[in-house]
Amino acid sequence: MSESNLAERSNGSEAQVSGAEVIAQALKAQDVNYMFGIVGIPVTEISLAAQKVGIRYVGMRNEQAACYAASAVGYLTGRPLIVIGGSSERSQETMGAFQEFPQVEACRLYSKFSARPSSVEAIPSIIEKAVRSSIYGRPGACYVDIPADFVNLQVNVNSIKYVECCLPPPVCMAETSAVCMAASLLRNAKQPLLIIGKGAAYARAEHSIRKLVEQCQLPFLPTPMGKGVIRDNHPNCVGAARSRALQFADVIVLFGARLNWILHFGLPPRYQPDVKFIQVDICAEELGNNVRPAVTLLGDINAVTQQLLEQFDKIPWQYPPESKWWKNLREKMKSNEAASKELASQKSLPMNYYTVFYHVQEQLPRDCFLVSEGANTMDIGRTVLQNYLPRHRLDAGTFGTMGVGLGFAIAAAVVAKDRNPGQRVICVEGDSAFGFSGMEVETICRYNLPIVLLVVNNNGIYQGLDADTWKEVLKSGDATTVAPPVCLLPHSHYEHVITAFGGKGYFVQTPEELQKSLRQSLEDLTKPSLINIMIEPQAMRKAQDFHWLTSSKI
Residues in contact with ligand TPP by CB under 6 A are 374-377, 400-403, 430-433, 456, 458, 460-462
Of residues 411 and 461, the one with the C-beta less far from ligand TPP: 461
Q: Cα separation of 119 and 125, whole Å? A: 11
Q: Tell me whether residue 17 or residue 404 sits nearer to ligand TPP (CB atom).
A: 404
- Per-residue exposure over 424-443, b if at least 16 CB sit within 10 Å of its own CB, e if not: bbbbbbbbbbbbbbbebbbb
Instruction: Identify which of residues 363 and 538 has a Cβ nearer to Mg ion in the complex.
Output: 538
CB 69 → Mg ion: shortest distance, Å? 23
Number of residues that bind Mg ion (CB under 5 A): 4
Q: Which are the contacts of 59, defined by CB distance < 8 A and separation ≥ 6? A: 37, 38, 39, 47, 443, 446
Nearer to Mg ion, 197 or 435 (CB): 435
Nearest residue (CB) to Mg ion, 226 versus 405:
405
Gap between the Cα atoms of 267 and 316, Å rounded: 32
- Min dist. Cβ of residue 460 to ligand TPP (A): 6
Distance CA 252, CA 278 (A): 6
Interaction mask 32-71, Mg ion, x per CB under 5 A:
----------------------------------------
400: partner contacted, choices Mg ion, ligand TPP, none (Cβ within 5-8 A by kind) = ligand TPP
- Least distance CB 494 / ligand TPP (angstroms): 11
DSSP-assigned beta bridge partners for residue 457: 534
375, interface contact from ligand TPP, Mg ion, none, CB < 5-8 Å by kind: ligand TPP
> At a CB cut-off of 8 Å and minimum separation 6, what does 417 contact?
449, 450
Q: Which stretch binds Mg ion (CB under 5 A): 230-238, 363-371, 455-463, 500-508?
A: 455-463
Query: Partners of 146 in the beta sheet?
Result: 86
The entry of Mg ion, ligand TPP, none near residue 403 (CB within 5 to 8 angstroms by kind) is ligand TPP
Element (H, E) at 42: none
Cα–Cα distances in Å, from 262 out to 169, 290, 427?
28, 13, 22
For residue 460, the minimal CB distance to Mg ion (Å) is 5
59 backbone dihedrals φ, ψ, rounded to 5°:
-80, 120
Choose from Mg ion, ligand TPP, none: what does 376 bind? Cβ within 5-8 Å by kind.
ligand TPP
Residue 402 contacts which entry, ligand TPP, Mg ion, none (Cβ below 5-8 A, type-dependent): ligand TPP
* Residue 378 CB, nearest approach to ligand TPP (Å): 7
- Tell me the C-alpha distance between 200 and 208, whole Å: 10
Q: How far is the CB of 275 from Mg ion (least distance, A)?
A: 36
DSSP reduced 3-state for 425: strand
Does the footprint of Mg ion cover residue 458 (CB under 5 A)? yes
Q: DSSP letter at 30?
A: T
C-alpha to C-alpha distance for 390 and 456, rounded to whole angstroms: 25
Q: Is residue 492 within the footprint of Mg ion (CB under 5 A)?
A: no
d(CA 371, CA 476): 40
Per-residue x/- marks for Mg ion, 421-440, CB under 5 A? ---------xxx--------
257 vs 428, which CB is nearer to ligand TPP?
428
Cα gap 283→297, rounded to integer Å: 10
Nearer to Mg ion, 388 or 494 (CB): 494
- Please say which residue, 78 or 400, places its beta carbon nearer to ligand TPP: 400
- By CB under 5 A, name the binding residues for Mg ion: 430-432, 458
